[in-house]
Amino acid sequence: VDCIVMDCDGVLWQGDTLLPGVRESIQLLREMGKRLVFVTNNSNKSRRQYVHKFEKLGIFVEKEEVFSAAFAAAAYLKTQKFAKKAMVIGGQGIVDELNEMYLEVDPGVFNAVQCTEMDWEELDIDPDCGAVIVGQDTSFTYAKLAYASLAIQRGAVFVATNPDAGDAIGPGLMPGAGAIVAAVEKASGVSPEIYAGKPSAFLLELLKGNRVDMARTLVVGDRLDTDIAFGRAGGAGATVLTLSGVCGLEDVDAAMEEGGDIPNHIVQSLPHMLGL
Amino acid sequence: VDCIVMDCDGVLWQGDTLLPGVRESIQLLREMGKRLVFVTNNSNKSRRQYVHKFEKLGIFVEKEEVFSAAFAAAAYLKTQKFAKKAMVIGGQGIVDELNEMYLEVDPGVFNAVQCTEMDWEELDIDPDCGAVIVGQDTSFTYAKLAYASLAIQRGAVFVATNPDAGDAIGPGLMPGAGAIVAAVEKASGVSPEIYAGKPSAFLLELLKGNRVDMARTLVVGDRLDTDIAFGRAGGAGATVLTLSGVCGLEDVDAAMEEGGDIPNHIVQSLPHMLGL
């Protein structure tokens, strides 16, 4: 194994808290000469914002080592030679990644909350709006839903960052990109052309384009349906589930019964994988 | 036929514009001694608000003649002997109907738009919140989604007003209750316990409880999947599709091929049905 593809939330940290032994684990992997690739379905942050987050937690990574769903969504439009404007339902990270690729952003109805019937009848879609990117958006509103739905009904490409229904945070499952994608999908009657994040084939292509040889890669993550499924779909050398995040052993049991994706190895946490 | 069950939007009016000949049609039906029942899946308005809307358009109806999805949702909780608070994602009409039945409303996060990770971790669900009613909400926000999802994860009953994806208004399909229900469903991992509006069995029971004998009733509507399906499920004496709203002849053709619900009669509009 030359390369470790690692999920972030649930493997390295939870929210803003680094999990124990993670700094040492990354240090050890670097000393072993492994190439590290951080792949996250969190769609709020750009790669640059991730580099800062790592730095604040005392870990130094390069922007080129990070593949976030925000980056993947923007990269998808770029590879399609997209030349119009993209409306974003999601975090600033998506906007930043679009800007970095010199793709134009359609502000849509960024500050409106409401969209009454009268607003709807007068809704003015920028004719240059050719795509709608939908991720988790903690400031999602009906007005954004209306604008996005109309743009898609008029032919804009519908790009979803990831299908995750929610993240297990504090009191329960906090609504994720999947919930917002479901609203846009139902309203417009159109399914996303692509889910850019894990476990999409596009993200595998993106890694391949960045010289990641999946056969010589270990994929580490805390979710069966995204991380482990991604590793298996890509023909990873091996997959490792950490029990430090969303999935537990009962989920592995359920996946075995239902014929879902199962990891090659299961460990308590990243440091355990390395015998730390 | 003693009774006419009529849809409103697309049959009587479009938005705030009365369709031609509708006033005369209702007048004629009254003169013929028919009982009129107005059943609408629009979940924004209470029955009282409907009476006013009719009045403004020059038509006089009784509150008891109106069955809106907002009323049906509140009535559902009432028949379940619900005694806690209900959080509402939807129009004021739902709140009004709850109040009229002396059911308490949980204001939730009525004025918040955003719900960051920190807000989420501190989210304080009223322990008395025992139900979440979800309809179309032109002021829907992520904060409401988060509150509703957490309440449902903690066991609150999930009541949907209706499954309509959207209404054909002006520039396209304006997002309907179905889109918002889809977001809450995905985020919470729970499906609605009931869709209170057409074509639900509950609404049929509600009409039956109000002495509507469906076998002696004509159901008139502009949608196959709600109006005509409702009439057929209830064993209506006959069903009539008006082409003055959402569905066209091509939809009837498609339904015939796919084995969907087909009306007994098809007319251009309500006055055409009466030879006006």
In this structure, which topology does domain B3-41+198-273 adopt according to CATH? Rossmann fold (3.40.50)
What is the separation, in whole angstroms, between the first and last Cα of chain A?
19
| pLDDT on residue A160 | 98
Compute CA distances B270 → A145, B23, B52, B234, whole Å. Answer: 33, 10, 21, 21
Asked if B140 and A138 come within 8 Å (Cβ–Cβ), the reply is no
DSSP string, A156-215: -EEEES----EEEETTEEEE-HHHHHHHHHHHHT---SEE-STT-HHHHHHHHHTT--GG
Q: Tell me whether residue B7 is one of the annotated catalytic residues.
A: yes
Q: How many CB atoms lie within 10 A of CB A105?
A: 17
Q: Do A159 and A192 touch, CB atoms closer than 8 A?
A: yes
Q: How many CB atoms lie within 10 A of CB B80?
A: 14
Catalytic positions of A, written as ranges: 7, 9
What is the band of B44 on the pLDDT scale with cuts at 50, 70, 90?
A: confident
Q: How far apart are CA B243 and CA B188, in angstroms?
A: 38
Asked if A186 and B174 come within 8 Å (Cβ–Cβ), the reply is no
Q: How far apart are CA B152 and CA A54, in angstroms?
A: 35
| pLDDT on residue B74 | 96
What is the separation, in whole angstroms, between the first and last Cα of chain B?
19
CATH architecture of B81-195: 3-Layer(aba) Sandwich (3.40)
Candidates B113, B121, B150; nearest CB to A113:
B113
Identity at B80, one-letter amino acid code: Q
* Residue A100 backbone phi and psi in degrees, to 5: -65, -25
The mean pLDDT of B49-58, rounded to a whole number, is 96
pLDDT in tens, B201-252: 999 999 999 999 999 999 999 999 999 999 999 999 999 999 999 899 999 9
Q: Is the pLDDT of residue A110 over 80?
A: no
Q: Which residue carries 């950490």 as its tokens?
A: A242
Q: Tell me whether residue B9 is one of the annotated catalytic residues.
A: yes
Q: How many CB atoms lie within 10 A of CB A48?
A: 16
Query: What are the chain B neighbours of A181 within 8 Å (beta carbons)?
Result: 186
Q: How far apart are CA A233 and CA A229, in angstroms?
A: 6
Enter the ipTM.
0.92
Share of chain B above pLDDT 70, in %: 100
In this structure, which topology does domain A70-195 adopt according to CATH? Rossmann fold (3.40.50)
Candidates B116, B117, B145; nearest CB to A179:
B145
**Helical ranges in chain A per DSSP H:** 22-31, 47-56, 69-79, 92-100, 117-121, 142-153, 177-188, 201-209, 229-233, 249-258, 270-273
Residues in chain B: 276
Q: Within 13 A of B274's CA, how many CA atoms are on the CB side?
A: 19
* Mean pLDDT computed over every residue of chain B: 95
Q: Count Cβ atoms within 10 A of the Cβ of residue B46 and give its class: 0-12 exposed, 13-18 middle, 19 or more buried.
A: buried
| pLDDT on residue A27 | 97
| pLDDT on residue A230 | 96
Of the residues B134, B173, B186, the best mutation for testing chain A's interface (the one with the most A CB atoms within 10 Å of its CB) is B186
Q: How far apart are CA B190 and CA A236, in angstroms?
A: 34
Three-class secondary structure of residue B114 per DSSP: coil
Nearest to A72 by CA among A37, A116, A115: A37
What is the band of A111 on the pLDDT scale with cuts at 50, 70, 90?
A: confident
pLDDT in tens, A71-99: 999 999 999 999 999 999 999 999 999 99
| pLDDT on residue B22 | 97
Q: Is the pLDDT of residue A216 over 80?
A: yes
* Mean pLDDT computed over every residue of chain A: 95
The mean pLDDT of B35-55, rounded to a whole number, is 94
| pLDDT on residue A276 | 85
pLDDT in tens, A39-78: 999 888 999 999 999 999 999 999 999 999 999 999 999 9
| pLDDT on residue B167 | 85
What is the band of A168 on the pLDDT scale with cuts at 50, 70, 90?
A: confident
Q: Is the pLDDT of residue A130 over 80?
A: yes
| pLDDT on residue A148 | 98
What is the band of B276 on the pLDDT scale with cuts at 50, 70, 90?
A: confident
The mean pLDDT of B265-269, rounded to a whole number, is 97
- Nearest Cα residue in chain B from A139: B114
Which positions ≥6 away from A108 have C-beta within 8 Å? A87, A88, A126, A129, A144, A147, A148, A151
| Sign of the C-alpha dihedral computed for residues A222, A225, A226 and A230 taken in this order | positive
Give the domain ranges of chain A. Answer: 3-41+198-273, 70-195
The mean pLDDT of A251-274, rounded to a whole number, is 96
Q: Is the fold of A3-41+198-273 the same as that of A70-195?
A: yes
